Structure 1
Amino acid sequence: MTPSDFVGLVGVIACLVAYAGLQMGRLQHDDLRYIGLNILSPACLLVSLMHDFNLAAVITQVLWLGLSLIGLLRAMYARSRKTEHLGAKCAENET
């Protein structure tokens, strides 16, 4: 097994763990673990595809990575808004 094959397998495992976790209710779509797995997976697969190029697979993984990064930004924004809201609520209760 070549190093690129190994990295590709890590990507496949990350993808399947994320999907299984979502389907079994262990992960939510905005869970940072789920998003992290969905970033790790295409990143690893892109590394693997540099060794054995396939245009369709590269396009799929680039789009998957881009959409996952959008999901990460949205989740982080939602968390920061929630923290701000809770902070304002705590300050309101102290007065």
Structure 2
Amino acid sequence: MSQFTGYDVAGLIGVTLMLIAYGATVAGKIDVKAWPALLANLIGAVLVLISLGHDFNLSAAVIESAWAVIALVGLIRLALGRR
């Protein structure tokens, strides 16, 4: 039986964060454009990208990169809107 690596743990934590954020937005618990959802998605995507450093998959890297950029843009817009 193989053991989890640090990359596996990072990826699993990242996926968990993104699923929790998605579930919370669908359930109406948090706003999809609010910082908690955006930050969870950004951190989650970055953690999945880190996990892909061990076992690379191009399609997964593309979607996670896009997910991270979208979340980052949302966070920047929130930060600039509060000035």
Cα RMSD of the aligned pairs, angstroms, is 0.9
Aligned to 1:70: 73
1:42 aligns with 2:45: yes
Counterpart-to-counterpart distance in 2, 1:79 and 1:21 = 24
Higher relative contact order (CA 8 A, sep 6+): 2
Does the alignment pair 1:23 with 2:26?
yes
Give the counterpart of 2:82 among 79, 82, 87.
Answer: 79
Aligned match for 2:57, one of 32, 54, 57: 54
Question: Which residue of 2 is the match for residue 3 of structure 1?
Answer: 6
Query: Which has the larger helix fraction?
Result: 1
Secondary structure at 2:82 match in 1: helix
Instruction: Give the number of the structure whose alpha-carbon radius of gyration is greater.
Output: 1
Q: How high is the sequence identity, in percent, across the aligned residues?
A: 32
The number of aligned residues is 80
Q: Distance in 2 between matches of 1:32 and 1:63?
A: 18
Structure 1 residues without counterparts, runs of 5 or longer: 81-95
In structure 2, the gaps of 5 or more residues are none
Q: Could you tell me how far 1:74 is from its partner in structure 2?
A: 1.1
TM-score scaled to structure 2, two decimals?
A: 0.90
